[in-house]
C-alpha cells in the first residue's frame, strides 16, 4: 500500500466518522418521543424529566392569554375525551385557535399540567379547497 493510499484511507475514515457523529447527534436532538394525551396521562410519573411531544385540539373556552408577559394557558383534548392543561410562554402561532389541532413539546409537571417550550399548529387549511369553489371541468 502506497503512502497516498494510506492518506486517502485515513482521510476517508475521518470524514466518515464526522458524518456518523453528526447524524447520531441530529437524531438525539430531534428524537423527542411522540405521545397521545391518553398515553401521557397513563405514564405520568414515568415522564418526569423527559421531553415529550403531544398532539391535541384546543379545548373551547380554555384559553387564557397575557399579551404583556407572552404567557398562554389552555387545555387540549383528544378524540377519547381526555384533557391536558398546557402552560406556554412565547410567541403564539397565527393558526392557534380554539378547536384547532396543536402540537406541544415540553415536559409533564408533577401536578399533571404540561409545560410547553414549543407550540406549533398544522396549516392544513391553507391547502384545502374552499367549500364554495368548484373544480374546473
Contact (Cβ atoms closer than 8 angstroms) between residue 115 and residue 106: yes
Distance between CA atoms of 47 and 53, rounded to whole angstroms?
Answer: 11
pLDDT tens digits, 110-134: 777 889 999 998 875 554 555 555 5
Structure-block grid coordinates of residue 87: 402552560
Residue percentage of the chain with pLDDT more than 90: 36
Which of 64, 63, 127 has its CA nearest to residue 99?
63
Q: Give me the CATH code for the 32-123 domain, please.
A: 2.40.50.140
Mean pLDDT within 77-90 = 91
Per-residue pLDDT averaged across 9-33, rounded? 78
Mean of per-residue pLDDT scores for the chain? 82
- For the chain, domain boundaries: 1-31, 32-123
Amino acid at each position: 500500500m502506497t503512502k497516498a493510499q494510506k492518506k486517502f484511507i485515513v482521510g476517508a475514515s475521518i470524514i466518515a466518522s464526522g458524518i456518523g457523529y453528526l447524524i447520531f447527534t441530529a437524531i438525539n436532538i430531534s428524537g423527542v418521543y411522540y405521545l397521545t394525551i391518553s398515553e401521557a396521562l397513563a405514564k405520568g410519573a414515568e415522564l418526569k424529566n423527559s421531553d415529550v411531544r403531544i398532539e391535541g385540539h384546543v379545548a373551547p373556552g380554555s384559553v387564557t392569554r397575557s399579551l404583556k408577559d407572552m404567557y398562554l394557558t389552555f387545555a387540549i383534548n383528544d378524540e377519547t375525551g381526555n384533557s391536558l392543561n398546557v402552560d406556554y410562554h412565547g410567541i403564539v402561532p397565527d393558526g392557534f385557535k380554539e378547536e384547532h389541532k396543536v402540537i406541544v413539546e415540553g415536559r409533564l409537571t408533577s401536578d399533571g399540567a404540561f409545560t410547553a417550550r414549543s407550540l406549533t399548529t398544522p396549516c392544513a387549511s391553507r391547502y384545502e379547497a374552499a367549500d364554495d369553489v368548484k373544480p374546473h371541468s
